[in-house]
């Protein structure tokens, strides 16, 4: 059985949605879905608010109850019948994310056991056939095939295997 490693933020968990939600709360400014999907969040916000992103991402509540990226629940459930699945997230950069991420996975993917959850940093440590990730840097030394998941920050990145949504992952892998 082949193995798929699946990233979390911007692949299954909507961290950009949390930035947008908190930015609106703090500054009263709202962005459209199109803006959020096509422009890196740091380029959307007022330059004088450049401390906002760092303050948000290190806040204890940032990773709690993030929205689920559309389609991932259905497709991952189907992938699970044909592949060995692991969630692999570079969580070590944000110690405040560890427990919320574990709780989030338990809530939304209870059939993926603790044995198949990986919190790491450099993903070249991951032994899998496929890695679905929004950050191409993790593919450089990855042992398998990287699948770039389109996110606002990677539209201009060149990579040979790219998907724009979970439906395209279904078409690619099932």
Residue ranges that bind its own copies, judged by CB under 8 A: 3, 5, 86, 88, 91-93, 95, 98-99, 102, 113-122, 124-128, 143
Q: Which residue among the candidates 9, 14, 133, 134 is catalytic per the annotation?
A: 9
Q: Which of 121, 144, 147 is nearest to 132 (CA)?
A: 147
Closest separation between CB of residue 43 and its own copies, Å? 26
Closest separation between CB of residue 54 and its own copies, Å? 16
Q: Which of 111, 116, 114, 110 is nearest to 81 (CA)?
A: 111
- Based on the residue annotation, tell me whether 9 is a catalytic residue of this protein: yes
Closer to its own copies at the Cβ: 20 or 131?
131
C-alpha span between 117 and 87 (Å, rounded) = 5
Closer to its own copies at the Cβ: 70 or 121?
121
C-alpha span between 149 and 69 (Å, rounded) = 11
Burial class (CB in 10 A: 0-12, 13-18, 19+), 66: buried
- Based on the residue annotation, tell me whether 46 is a catalytic residue of this protein: no
Closest separation between CB of residue 11 and its own copies, Å? 17
Closest separation between CB of residue 165 and its own copies, Å? 26
Closer to its own copies at the Cβ: 23 or 86?
86
- CA–CA distances in Å: residue 132 to residues 47, 103, 111: 31, 21, 19
Closer to its own copies at the Cβ: 137 or 170?
137
Query: What sign results for the dihedral spanned by CA atoms 123, 127, 129, 132?
Result: negative
Active site residues: 7, 9
């Amino acid at each position: 059985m082949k193995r798929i490693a699946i990233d979390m933020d911007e692949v299954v968990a909507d961290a950009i949605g949390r930035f947008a939600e908190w930015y609106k709360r703090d500054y009263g400014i709202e962005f459209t879905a199109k803006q959020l999907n096509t422009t890196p969040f740091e380029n959307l916000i007022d330059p004088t608010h450049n401390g906002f992103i760092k303050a948000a991402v290190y806040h204890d509540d940032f990773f709690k109850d993030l929205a689920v990226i559309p389609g991932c629940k259905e497709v991952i459930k189907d992938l699970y019948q044909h592949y060995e699945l692991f969630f692999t997230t570079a969580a070590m950069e944000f110690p405040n994310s560890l427990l919320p991420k574990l709780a989030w996975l338990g809530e939304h993917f209870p059939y993926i056991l603790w044995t198949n959850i990986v919190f790491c940093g450099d993903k070249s440590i991951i032994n899998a056939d496929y890695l679905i990730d929004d950050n191409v840097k993790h593919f450089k030394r990855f042992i398998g095939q990287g699948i770039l998941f389109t996110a606002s920050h990677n539209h201009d990145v060149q990579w040979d295997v790219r998907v724009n949504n979970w439906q395209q992952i279904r078409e690619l892998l099932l």
